[in-house]
A and B are shown apart, each in its own frame.
Chain A
Amino acid sequence: MAEAKRKPAVGLQPEVDVDWSAYRGVMVVVEHRRDKVAKVSWQLLGESRRLADKLDAPLMAVVIGHEAEDIARQAIGYGAERVYLCDAPELADYRTRPYSRVCLHIIREVKPEIVLFGATYTGRDLAGAIATHLPTGLTADCTQLDVDDNRLLLASRPAFSEKMVATILCKQFKPQMATVRPGVFEALPYDPRRMGEIIRVESPLDRESIRTEVLEFVEAVNRVNLEDAEVIVAGGRGVGGRAGFDLLAKLADALGGQVGASRAAVDLGWISHDHQVGQTGTTVRPKIYIAAGISGAVQHVVGMQNAELIVSINKDPNAPIHRIAHYAIVDDLFEVVPALIEAVQAARPSARVPVV
């Protein structure tokens, strides 16, 4: 790896001499809506287990909401040793001001050295408010985390449209905070027998201060969610048109996945932009990525090269996509894909419900 080292400049200093040594442990803020927990929260507990072990410090979770005790218990099943639960009717809906006040209260009391959030809409909204209040440094959208011998969090994130990676430190303040992309880390297997403690926190809120009101939540049906997909079947110019994408959708269904696309296919109007993978589309990390009729231009590849398993189907043996694929098929996709659909259906007779 080519590294360009820069001398770290001395940044913001705390206003008074602070003894940060009381700050210990890794804390994950769990995100949930309507009893559904964002998967990234459990992924963060999985990765944080490793960080906490390295730091020889406790792994904690924060659950805020109304009637959320069950979620607190789940957090223990996913690895948290201690869960701080703040449960109150006015916390039923996520709103920045009350949620950030509760988090601040817990952070100030518990003094964790690291606090992590999912880089979701809600996680970014909340983390941005908290970091400013504390104040402390916040690194957005991390894809790699580690700690060094000085207990510094090494928060690494893509920069310049995925072309570079930067490692960012926060040396003078605690906690060190980061938001982390969904789908990068693995959750620990859920174990209901795992032991942990749930600590109830009184809501410190003055209800008068809550001025924003959530009127309604409209659940999206059939929204493309490539970031969370475990399987993506993507098509490019070689798919030839909308009918070709219908064929790919069948394969995606058989595998419980979603349909992706290259920019060329989107530009031709065969499929909408929210399916686009790549530099100007979505960056994805599915378990399986099947690229059919895609040449593998660098702008596409940066968005999918971190898939765990890549399959290319392209009749041109020299197409660059084959070079980054684990399995390559040099053939006509209109021959291969229908046969593959049949073979998948035969191999897994009970059609799976897609994992949400």
Chain B
Amino acid sequence: MLHMVVCIKQVPDSREIRIDPKTNTLIRQGVPAIVNPYDLNGVEAALQIKDQFGGRVTVLTMGPPSADKALRQCVAMGADEGVLISDRAFAGADTLATSYVLAKSIEKAGRLWGQPAIVFCGKQTLDGDTGQVGPGIACRLDYEQLTYVEAIESVDPDRGEVVVRRHLEDGVERVRAPFPVLITVLAEMNKPRRASLPGLLHAQTYQPIVWSTADFEDLDRSKIGLRGSPTVVSKTWVPEPRQVDTEFLKGETGEVTSRLAQVLVERLQTVQGA
């Protein structure tokens, strides 16, 4: 059976986070926790493949106990199982440590429900905002890595391959890769479905599976959480708004614009050396 895993993360909606002007710290209060938007595109992609070929969709998240809500939201959409990987020892992980734990979890899910042919990740998270966790997982599992995918052109479960369209700055690349693959998805790929009423009812009583460090036989403790993270944040600051001496251009439109045009054209010449 076609087994697919989607890695999702619950994030504070950073668009709603404001800075306290007095203390220069983040105001997290009242900021809603949501499923990282791109991850929902990953769930939708997996569900569409399941709709077409059958199979099984597992959603994984590493996070605090409260992240079970995010898993339930995906189960309401149609995912078969949600796994919460949660332990204090996982806290403080950077992308290297996160991809280690998720890779170990995907292996474990594979032992339980069959090796995943496709693992989906979002393009990036709103809070971590790196897009590094997907490639990290692909590398650790030795899966083919297909990032920034804007469309899945075809899936062939019999031959065991996918053809996807990768989005690049200057165009689109069509790529074929054999299973198993890790795909990171862009928002353009699809529109996540709304949960159906039966889905919502099911999700209400659904209890996600929880794995702590004790549930892994082969976890290297030095590679998880803060201890397993090579990067450290040394400081954070709020950038000062730029101070500009605004010059108000006054006078007749013709005069004002020819003066401005002069400034602009000179600027471009010094820049481009034209």
Q: Do A and B bind each other?
A: yes
B107 to chain A: closest CB distance in Å?
15
Given contacts A168-B231, A287-B271, A329-B249, contact A137 B94 (CB under 8 A): yes
Given contacts A139-B231, A225-B169, contact A305 B132 (CB under 8 A): no
Contact with B along A299-335 (1 / 0, CB 8 A): 0000001101111000000000011111111110001
Contact between chains at B265 and A344 (CB < 8 Å)? yes
A210 to chain B: closest CB distance in Å?
10
Q: Which of B160-176 contact A (CB under 8 A)?
A: 163, 166-176
Contact with A along B246-274 (1 / 0, CB 8 A): 11111001101110111111011001111
Q: In the complex, what distance in Å separates the CA atom of A188 from the CA atom of B72?
A: 53
Contact between chains at A326 and B240 (CB < 8 Å)? no
Contact between chains at A135 and B96 (CB < 8 Å)? yes
Task: Collect the chain B residues with CB atoms within 8 Å of residue A161's CB.
Answer: 14-15, 17, 126
Given contacts A141-B130, A154-B234, A352-B274, contact A121 B264 (CB under 8 A): no
Contact between chains at B222 and A96 (CB < 8 Å)? no
What is the chain A residue whose CB lies nearest that of B223? A12
Task: Collect the chain A residues with CB atoms within 8 Å of residue B197's CB.
Answer: none
Contact with B along A1-36 (1 / 0, CB 8 A): 111111011111101000000000000000001001
Contact between chains at B248 and A330 (CB < 8 Å)? yes
Task: Collect the chain A residues with CB atoms within 8 Å of residue B174's CB.
Answer: 214-218
Given contacts A15-B222, A168-B233, 16 further A-B contacts (CB under 8 A): A3-B237, A6-B234, A9-B92, A121-B147, A131-B136, A137-B230, A138-B132, A140-B130, A160-B17, A165-B239, A212-B176, A214-B175, A223-B171, A306-B242, A327-B247, A328-B247
Contact between chains at B145 and A125 (CB < 8 Å)? yes
B34 to chain A: closest CB distance in Å?
14
Task: Collect the chain B residues with CB atoms within 8 Å of residue A122's CB.
Answer: 168
Contact with B along A273-285 (1 / 0, CB 8 A): 0000001100000
B244 at the interface (CB under 8 A from A): yes
Q: Which of B219-246 contact A (CB under 8 A)?
A: 222-223, 226-242, 244-246
B145 touches which one: A8, A97, A166, A215 (CB < 8 A)? A97
B24 at the interface (CB under 8 A from A): yes
Contact between chains at B273 and A189 (CB < 8 Å)? yes
Contact with B along A91-132 (1 / 0, CB 8 A): 000011100100000000000000000001110110111011
A346 touches which one: B17, B96, B222, B258 (CB < 8 A)? B258
B168 to chain A: closest CB distance in Å?
5
Q: Which of B83-119 contact A (CB under 8 A)?
A: 92, 94-97, 99
Contact between chains at B237 and A172 (CB < 8 Å)? no
Contact between chains at B135 and A344 (CB < 8 Å)? no
A213 touches which one: B99, B175, B228, B261 (CB < 8 A)? B175
Contact between chains at A138 and B95 (CB < 8 Å)? yes
B178 at the interface (CB under 8 A from A): yes
Q: In the complex, what distance in Å separates the CA atom of A12 from the CA atom of B246?
A: 49
Q: In the complex, what distance in Å separates the CA atom of A355 from the CA atom of B265?
A: 14
Interface size class of B (residues with CB under 8 A): 35 or more
Task: Collect the chain A residues with CB atoms within 8 Å of residue B148's CB.
Answer: 121, 125
What is the chain B residue whose CB lies nearest that of A329? B249
Contact between chains at B237 and A4 (CB < 8 Å)? yes
Given contacts A164-B26, A169-B234, A327-B249, contact A124 B131 (CB under 8 A): yes
Q: In the complex, what distance in Å separates the CA atom of A325 from the CA atom of B245?
A: 8
A173 at the interface (CB under 8 A from B): yes
Given contacts A97-B145, A346-B261, contact A129 B135 (CB under 8 A): yes
Contact between chains at B264 and A255 (CB < 8 Å)? yes
B88 to chain A: closest CB distance in Å?
15
What is the chain A residue whose CB lies nearest that of B172? A218
B202 at the interface (CB under 8 A from A): no
Contact with B along A55-75 (1 / 0, CB 8 A): 000000000000000000000
18 contacts between A and B (CB under 8 A): A1-B239, A2-B237, A11-B229, A12-B223, A38-B169, A96-B138, A124-B131, A124-B132, A128-B131, A165-B236, A215-B163, A287-B267, A287-B271, A305-B242, A311-B264, A329-B248, A343-B262, A344-B264
Please list the 3 inter-chain residue pairs (A to B) with the smallest Cβ-Cβ separation, ordered nearest first: A128-B135, A343-B261, A137-B230
What is the chain A residue whose CB lies nearest that of B12? A160
A195 at the interface (CB under 8 A from B): no
B268 touches which one: A227, A231, A326, A346 (CB < 8 A)? A231
A297 at the interface (CB under 8 A from B): no
A247 to chain B: closest CB distance in Å?
14
Contact between chains at B139 and A133 (CB < 8 Å)? yes
A163 at the interface (CB under 8 A from B): yes
Task: Collect the chain A residues with CB atoms within 8 Å of residue B222's CB.
Answer: 12-13, 15
Task: Collect the chain B residues with CB atoms within 8 Å of residue A141's CB.
Answer: 129-130
What is the chain A residue whose CB lies nearest that of B22? A2
Contact between chains at B232 and A280 (CB < 8 Å)? no
A147 at the interface (CB under 8 A from B): no
Residue with the highest number of chain B CB atoms closer than 10 Å, among A9, A131, A165: A131
B19 at the interface (CB under 8 A from A): yes
B144 at the interface (CB under 8 A from A): yes
B212 at the interface (CB under 8 A from A): no
B31 to chain A: closest CB distance in Å?
10
What is the chain B residue whose CB lies nearest that of A155? B231
Task: Collect the chain A residues with CB atoms within 8 Å of residue B126's CB.
Answer: 161
A11 touches which one: B26, B139, B227 (CB < 8 A)? B227
A243 at the interface (CB under 8 A from B): no
